[in-house]
């Protein structure tokens, strides 16, 4: 008990109080749906009450016994354990790596700051199927393979508020962007970030949600498919 308390005290300075509150209250945001209607929604952790008191054991957690008869039907899930390439925790010294609480806080900031964008870098069909409410879609290949998508590249630059003239880019008014894809094993957003940096995009204006949709859904966070 004492060791756990000491560990908690060591962590407390690293865990911002204004982030802690969002874990329990969620964040109310406003976003525009495909039919151009405005909708308000609370982005929060959504957990079936039946799943709150399940005793988590090493056997269930680490030996993939998720279909145990002890686990109620609504709580059973399959998630990816071996796909893609594991990405590093930090892509660049000046690029912040976000977790779920940072994304919630960022969504909160977006409501009053139009210069902040949450960007889903997956292909459009993945975005249309399910994404984080409030995210816009800029497919990674529109940036990383821009010569193959010249018109889409121009549209992306306009969204990011980046000016281009004679092959030179003006990032003086570029928006702050938080990018994500399918998970910590997904290379789409890291690849897009790599190309943005190569173009000259200021790293301090780039954030990266490493866990992506995999971690977002694993933690029962709100997604557009559920609404």
pLDDT, one tens digit per residue, over 175-186 is 999 999 999 988
* pLDDT category of residue 64 using cuts at 50, 70 and 90: low
Residue 77 confidence (pLDDT)? 59
Q: What is the band of 114 on the pLDDT scale with cuts at 50, 70, 90?
A: very high
pTM of this prediction?
Answer: 0.77
Q: What is the pLDDT of residue 60?
A: 58
∠ CA 202-214-84, rounded to 5°: 80
Of 69 and 128, more confident: 128
Mean pLDDT of 114-127: 95
Q: Does residue 24 sit within a domain?
A: no
The confidence score (pLDDT) of residue 24 equals 74
| Strand boundaries in 104-182, DSSP class E | 116-120, 136-137, 163-165, 168-170, 176-180
Rounded distance between C-alpha atoms, residue 45 and residue 67, angstroms: 22
- Quote the pLDDT of residue 50: 75
What is the span of the domain harbouring residue 179?
96-226
Pick the range with the lowest mean pLDDT from 62-66, 70-74, 115-119, 149-153. 62-66
Residue 183 is assigned to a structural domain of this protein: yes
pLDDT > 60? residue 105? yes
Q: What is the pLDDT of residue 67?
A: 57
Q: Say if CB 44 and CB 222 are below 8 A apart.
A: yes
pLDDT at 225 over 90: no
Residue 178 corresponds to which tokens in the numbers above? Answer: 């938080």
Task: Examine the pLDDT at 20 and tell me if it is beyond 80.
Answer: no
Residue 198: inside a domain: yes
User: Does a structural domain hold residue 107?
Assistant: yes
Query: What's the CA gap between 76 and 185, in Å, rounded?
Result: 22
Residue 84 lies in a domain: no
CATH number for position 154: 3.40.250.10
Q: How many domains does the chain have?
A: 1
Residue 149 lies in a domain: yes
């Amino acid at each position: 008990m004492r060791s756990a308390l000491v560990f908690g005290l060591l962590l407390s300075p690293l865990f911002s109080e204004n982030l802690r509150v969002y874990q329990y209250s969620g964040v109310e945001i406003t976003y525009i749906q495909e039919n151009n209607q405005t909708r308000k929604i609370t982005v929060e952790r959504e957990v079936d009450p039946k799943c709150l008191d399940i005793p988590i054991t090493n056997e269930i957690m680490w030996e993939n016994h998720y279909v145990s008869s002890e686990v109620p039907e609504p709580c059973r899930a399959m998630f990816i354990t071996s796909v893609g390439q594991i990405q590093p925790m930090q892509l660049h010294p000046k690029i912040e790596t976000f977790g779920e609480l940072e994304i919630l806080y960022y969504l909160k900031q977006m409501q009053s700051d139009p210069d902040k964008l949450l960007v889903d870098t997956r292909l459009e069909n993945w975005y249309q199927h399910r994404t984080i409410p409030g995210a816009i879609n800029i497919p990674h290949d529109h940036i990383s393979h821009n010569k193959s998508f010249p018109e889409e590249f121009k549209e992306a630059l306009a969204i990011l508020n980046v000016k281009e003239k004679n092959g030179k880019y003006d990032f003086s008014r570029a928006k702050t962007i938080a990018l994500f894809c399918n998970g910590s094993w997904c290379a789409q957003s890291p690849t897009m970030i790599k190309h943005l940096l190569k173009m000259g995009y200021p790293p301090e204006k780039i954030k990266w949600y490493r866990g992506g949709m995999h971690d977002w859904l694993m933690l029962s966070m709100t997604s557009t498919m559920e609404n």
